[in-house]
Amino acid sequence: MMEADMRKVKCPRCGIVTEWSSANPYRPFCSKRCKNIDLGAWADEDYRVTMIDQEDFLLELQQVE
């Protein structure tokens, strides 16, 4: 792939612009360090997938039926 054709993305951790290609094994991160910091944040539960309250879910489910 030509250099001009390579897709550039910002590292989600530090914001440095990096290549999105098979040459970058840490993509979308710029480095192993940024990838590991992000993994650690998930392990520490810094990121969460929001969940709706079970009662709200059951009410919505009843409305669909």
Binding residues for Zn(2+) are 11, 14, 30, 34
Binding-site residues from annotation? 11, 14, 30, 34
Write out the H or E segment, with its range, that includes residue 7: strand 7-10
The answer to whether the beta carbons of residues 13 and 29 sit under 8 Å apart is: yes
- How many CA atoms lie less than 13 Å away from 46 in the CB half-sphere? 8
